[in-house]
Chain A
Amino acid sequence: MSETIEAGPMRAADGTPLKKSLARALRRQKLRALALIAPLLIFILVTFIAPIADMLFRSVENQIVSDTLPRTVVALKDWDAASDEAPGEPVFAALAVDFQIATELKNHTKLGSRLNYEDPGISSLFRKSGRSADDIGKSFMDRFVGIDAAWKKPETWAALFGDDVWLADATAWADAKDKDAREPAFKLRDGVGDALPATAETYRTFARAVQAEGRKGLVETKPWPVLFTALSQDLTSATPEALAALTDVDTALLQQAATAVAGTEPFAYRDAFLAIDKGWGDVDAWRTIRAYSPRYTPGYFLNAIDLEKGADGISARPDDQKIYIKLFIRTMWMSMLITFSCLLLGYPVAWLLANLRSSTANLLMILVLLPFWTSLLVRTSAWKVLLQQQGVINDILVWLGLVDDGNRLIMINNQFGTITAMTHILLPFMILPLYSVMKTIPPSYLRAAKSLGATNWTAFWRVYFPQSVPGIGAGSILVFILSIGYYITPEIVGGTQGVFISNRIAYHISTSLNWGLAAALGAILLAVVLLLYYVYDKIVGIDNVKLG
Chain B
Amino acid sequence: MKLMNTLLATTALGLSAGAASAVELTFVSWGGAYQQSQLKAYAEPYMAEHPDVKIIWDESSAEAVAKLRAMNEAGNISWDLVDVTVSDSIRLCDEGLAREIDFDTELAPAPDGTSATEDFGNTLQNDCFVPQIVYSTTFGYRTDLVGDTPPTSVCDIFDLAKYPGKRSLQKRPIDNVEWALYCDGVASDDIYSVLGTDEGVEQAFKKLDTIKDQVVWWSAGAETPQLLADGEVVMGSTFNGRLFSAIAEQNQPIAMLWDRQSFDIDGWIVPAGLAPEKEAVVMDFLKFATDTQRLADQAKYISYGPARASSAPLVGKHADLGIDMAPHMPTDPANATNVQLYDYSWWADHRDDLDAKFQAWLAQ
A in complex with B:
yes
Interfacial residues, chain A to chain B (CB-CB below 8 A): 106-107, 109-110, 112-113, 116-117, 120-124, 127, 319-323, 326-327, 388-391, 413, 491-492, 495-497, 504, 507, 509-514
Bound: A319/B198 CA distance, A: 12
Question: By the criterion CB–CB under 8 Å, are A496 and B363 in contact?
Answer: yes
Q: List 19 A-B contacts (CB under 8 A).
A: A109-B93, A110-B94, A110-B95, A113-B91, A113-B94, A117-B352, A120-B350, A120-B353, A320-B357, A320-B360, A321-B360, A323-B363, A389-B166, A389-B232, A413-B216, A495-B217, A509-B66, A513-B65, A513-B95
Bound: A152/B189 CA distance, A: 47
Q: Which of A123, A326, A388: most chain B Cβ within 10 A? A: A123
Q: How many Å from the CB of B203 to the closest CB on chain A?
A: 13
Given contacts A109-B94, A113-B91, A120-B349, contact A513 B360 (CB under 8 A): no
Question: By the criterion CB–CB under 8 Å, are B230 and A321 in contact?
Answer: no
Q: Which residue of B lies closest to A128 (CB)?
A: B345
Given contacts A120-B353, A124-B349, A322-B360, contact A513 B91 (CB under 8 A): yes
Question: By the criterion CB–CB under 8 Å, are A512 and B355 in contact?
Answer: yes
Bound: A106/B217 CA distance, A: 38
Bound: A504/B232 CA distance, A: 27
Q: Which residue of B lies closest to A494 (CB)?
A: B217
Contacting residue for B350 out of A112, A121, A509, A514, CB 8 A: A121
Bound: A514/B353 CA distance, A: 12
Question: By the criterion CB–CB under 8 Å, are B348 and A123 in contact?
Answer: yes
Contact with A along B340-364 (1 / 0, CB 8 A): 0000011011111101110111110
**B11 within 8 Å of A (CB atoms):** no
Given contacts A390-B231, A509-B66, contact A109 B96 (CB under 8 A): yes
Bound: A327/B349 CA distance, A: 25
Q: Which residues of B lie under 8 Å from residue A389 when comparing CB positions? A: 166, 232
Question: By the criterion CB–CB under 8 Å, are B345 and A513 in contact?
Answer: no
**B190 within 8 Å of A (CB atoms):** no
Q: Which residue of B lies closest to A120 (CB)?
A: B353
Question: By the criterion CB–CB under 8 Å, are A491 and B91 in contact?
Answer: no
Contact with A along B199-231 (1 / 0, CB 8 A): 001100000000000001101000000000011
Q: How many Å from the CB of B195 to the closest CB on chain A?
A: 11
Question: By the criterion CB–CB under 8 Å, are A496 and B93 in contact?
Answer: no
- Per the CB 8 Å criterion, the residue count for chain B at the interface is 36
Q: How many Å from the CB of B16 to the closest CB on chain A?
A: 24
Q: Which residues of B lie under 8 Å from residue A110 when comparing CB positions? A: 94-96
Bound: A127/B360 CA distance, A: 29
Q: Which of A107, A117, A127, A326: most chain B Cβ within 10 A? A: A127
Bound: A17/B104 CA distance, A: 83
Given contacts A112-B94, A390-B230, A504-B359, contact A510 B63 (CB under 8 A): yes
Q: Which residues of B lie under 8 Å from residue A112 when comparing CB positions? A: 94
Q: Which residues of B lie under 8 Å from residue A492 when comparing CB positions? A: 219
Bound: A327/B363 CA distance, A: 9
Q: Which residues of B lie under 8 Å from residue A504 when comparing CB positions? A: 359
Question: By the criterion CB–CB under 8 Å, are B232 and A495 in contact?
Answer: no
Question: By the criterion CB–CB under 8 Å, are B348 and A510 in contact?
Answer: no
Bound: A511/B63 CA distance, A: 7
Given contacts A117-B352, A120-B349, A124-B346, 17 further A-B contacts (CB under 8 A): A107-B96, A110-B94, A110-B96, A112-B94, A120-B352, A121-B350, A320-B201, A323-B359, A323-B360, A388-B230, A390-B230, A391-B230, A496-B217, A510-B63, A510-B65, A511-B66, A513-B91
Q: Which residue of B lies closest to A106 (CB)?
A: B96
Contacting residue for B94 out of A123, A320, A388, A390, CB 8 A: A123
Question: By the criterion CB–CB under 8 Å, are B351 and A124 in contact?
Answer: no
Question: By the criterion CB–CB under 8 Å, are A113 and B231 in contact?
Answer: no
Q: Which residues of A lie under 8 Å from residue B361 when comparing CB positions? A: 320
Given contacts A323-B360, A390-B230, contact A514 B352 (CB under 8 A): yes
Q: How many Å from the CB of B345 to the closest CB on chain A?
A: 5
Q: How many Å from the CB of B218 to the closest CB on chain A?
A: 10
Which B83-140 residues have C-beta < 8 A from chain A? 91, 93-96
Q: How many Å from the CB of A131 to the closest CB on chain B?
A: 10
Q: Which residues of A lie under 8 Å from residue B217 when comparing CB positions? A: 413, 495-496
**B50 within 8 Å of A (CB atoms):** no
**B69 within 8 Å of A (CB atoms):** yes
Bound: A403/B94 CA distance, A: 55
Contacting residue for B349 out of A106, A116, A491, CB 8 A: A116
Bound: A509/B96 CA distance, A: 18
Q: How many Å from the CB of B96 to the closest CB on chain A?
A: 5
Bound: A123/B344 CA distance, A: 12
Question: By the criterion CB–CB under 8 Å, are B94 and A127 in contact?
Answer: yes
Q: How many Å from the CB of A476 to the closest CB on chain B?
A: 27
Q: Which residues of A lie under 8 Å from residue B96 when comparing CB positions? A: 106-107, 109-110
Question: By the criterion CB–CB under 8 Å, are B363 and A326 in contact?
Answer: yes
Instruction: Name the 4 nearest CB pairs between A and B, nearest first.
Output: A109-B94, A120-B353, A510-B66, A496-B362
Question: By the criterion CB–CB under 8 Å, are B363 and A123 in contact?
Answer: no
Q: How many Å from the CB of A59 to the closest CB on chain B?
A: 16
Q: Which residues of B lie under 8 Å from residue A390 when comparing CB positions? A: 230-232
Bound: A124/B125 CA distance, A: 14
Q: How many Å from the CB of A498 to the closest CB on chain B?
A: 11
Q: How many Å from the CB of B79 to the closest CB on chain A?
A: 15
Bound: A28/B355 CA distance, A: 59
Q: Which residues of B lie under 8 Å from residue A321 when comparing CB positions? A: 356-357, 360
Q: How many Å from the CB of A407 to the closest CB on chain B?
A: 13
Q: Which residues of A lie under 8 Å from residue B95 when comparing CB positions? A: 109-110, 113, 513
Bound: A388/B355 CA distance, A: 27
Question: By the criterion CB–CB under 8 Å, are A512 and B352 in contact?
Answer: yes
Question: By the criterion CB–CB under 8 Å, are A121 and B349 in contact?
Answer: yes
Q: Which residues of B lie under 8 Å from residue A326 when comparing CB positions? A: 363
Bound: A124/B231 CA distance, A: 43
Q: Which residues of A lie under 8 Å from residue B346 when comparing CB positions? A: 124
Q: How many Å from the CB of B177 to the closest CB on chain A?
A: 13
